[in-house]
Amino acid sequence: MGSYRSRLVLMFLLLTVVACEAKPKPEPKPTPSTSESPSNVTEPPCKADQILILPRWGAAAGSYGGTWQFANISETTCAFRSPAHAVLRARTGAPLLRSEPWPEPTEPVVVVPGGIVEAIVLWGNWCSDEANVVMRIGLPDDGGSLTIVPPGTAPCSGPGQDSSDSSLSVEPFQATNKGVGLAPEIAVQQAPHAMAVGLGGVWVAGQERLVRFDTEGRPVRTFELGYIDGALIGGGSDVAIGEGHVWVTCSCGSEPDLRYGSTSGGLVRIDPETDRVTGTRIFTDRTPGPVLATEGAVWLGTGDSVTRIDAKDLRVDESIPLGGHVLDVVEGRKRLWVPVREGDTNYIVRISTATNRITARWRLPGEPSALVEHGALWVAIPASGVLLRMDVRTGEAETFEGFPSVRAIAASGGSFWVYDTESGAVRRFVDPGLDNVTMTFHVGSDQNGMLLGTGTVWLFSYRNGTVTRIAA
């Protein structure tokens, strides 16, 4: 749940993206901009490797689906000359349901690079026992197909019906004035474990080094594996910003500690003004994991407890046992939020930063992948395909469905950002309803975390060894 040569010029198309709810009829066509509906087109057909599908799932009037977006993520303009078609399949590959061809002639739709077209996809009256299904969207003109995994199934209209009473439809493509941003990546020459944004830069911790970038994505300083100001920095597991310093939990220690294998890990404090290590705390009885810096204190997830460290002298002020494995430590308003896994059960624990005491413990419906406090406590449960909006006082939760494979969430001002690996896209919503998308960026399915800077969104990929910067 956590992180992270020449000048990079970031080029992408920033246009408003508005996600619409499912409706029984196509919406009025907006003013063409990123896609057009000319009578004669010469552009080649859109192929599957050019298209990113951004599905919308909602249940209404006995149907399941909505207005889906089809984004051109290539550098070549292409066209849809007829509607797509859909096939519902079992996970074994056996076809279960097919859409009918559209009965009327349709206008071709041209999609420029970064442009988006929309089509309503609806699945209705599913009374079959087969729930583990995938939907294959076939593009026209032998454009290939793309697979979407529905987060649920269409409702059944009543007992006694079977799959022969079900329906699946794909309406014609509609031109829009919407667009998707294509964000390039910054190579960091390592596998990032964690990332922090602040103090005039971006800090990326990895297996071999800690790298500092400026806000434009240019490398400023690299802390290589080895002794730096008396501390061995390497194998960074998390990084945080606070109290005017950068804090790294890592595999580190003094030479005697390492020689005799008596250290499990440590905490390193770095002054961003001088790029020098100003303090280290080596642990022989606990392994630091996630780290969070608040006013006067640094909080470490250490196995099945949270440890509070004084930010000045690095002494251990308190160790708070939580009864399960600590997955993360997230700051709230005068409180900490700590997701804990205890066997097959997951909890969210609330801790007061004033008293160091547990003030609430609420059970979650699955293991969370990300959480953030923004008015309420937002928690992503990818296995269930939901986002929870939890009351910070009572724990009462409102569930938002249709968010499968969410790996990272972030919030600032009136914007709420969601990254999911299924679509490989970052979307900015206007909260609190999560029913209005204002920006969408295609970043691929291998990102591990996401943070917000001033006017920027940052993501990092462990697999790709990259950091992605989006100007938003």
Band of pLDDT at residue 415, cut at 50, 70 and 90:
confident
Q: Could you give the CA distance from residue 267 to residue 269 in angstroms, rounded to a whole number?
A: 7
Q: Which CATH number fits domain 185-471: 2.40.50.140, 2.130.10.10, 1.20.120.160, 1.10.3720.10?
A: 2.130.10.10
Assign 18 a pLDDT band (cuts: 50, 70, 90). very low
Contact (Cβ atoms closer than 8 angstroms) between residue 434 and residue 387:
yes
Rounded to two decimals, the pTM is 0.67
Helix ranges restricted to H, 184-282: 255-259
Residues of the chain above pLDDT 90, percent: 40
Q: What is the pLDDT of residues 288-317, one digit of tens each?
A: 789 999 999 999 998 899 999 999 999 999
| CA separation for the pair 122, 80 (Å, rounded) | 19
Phi and psi at 50, nearest 5°, equal: -95, -15
Would you state the structure tokens that stand for residue 57, as one six-digit string?
A: 């799932």
What pLDDT does 28 receive? 37
Least confident of 204-213, 384-393, 444-453: 204-213
pLDDT reported for residue 211: 80
| pLDDT of 206 above 80 | no
Q: What's residue 298's pLDDT?
A: 95
In this structure, of 32-41, 134-143, 149-158, 417-426, the range with the lowest mean pLDDT score is 32-41
The pLDDT score that the predictor gives to residue 430 is 77
Note whether 328 and 338 are within 8 A (CB).
Answer: yes
- pLDDT, mean over the chain: 80
How far apart CA 73 and CA 10 sit, in angstroms, is 15
- 395 compared with 252, residue with greater pLDDT: 395
C-alpha of 39 from chain center: 39
Q: pLDDT grade, residue 88 (50/70/90)?
A: very high
Q: Say what the pLDDT of residue 30 is.
A: 35
What are the residues whose beta carbons fall under 8 Å from the beta carbon of 384, sequence distance 6 or more?
365, 366
Mean pLDDT score, 201-206: 84
pLDDT band at 179 (very low <50, low <70, confident <90, very high): low
pLDDT band at 236 (very low <50, low <70, confident <90, very high): low
Does the CA dihedral 141-142-143-145 come out positive or negative?
Answer: positive
List pLDDT tens digits, range 305-360: 999 999 999 999 999 999 999 999 999 999 999 999 999 999 999 999 999 999 99
Q: Are 452 and 202 in contact (CB under 8 A)?
A: no
Tokens of 95: 């076809």
List the domain boundaries for the chain.
Answer: 35-179, 185-471
How are beta strands 115-124 and 174-179 bridged, if at all? antiparallel
Exposed e or buried b per residue across 450-472, where buried means at least 16 C-beta atoms within 10 angstroms of its C-beta:
bbbbeebbbbbbbebbbbbbbeb
Check residues 52 and 295 and name the one with the higher pLDDT.
295
Which of 395, 378, 383 minimizes the C-alpha distance to 432? Answer: 378
The pLDDT value recorded for residue 221 is: 75
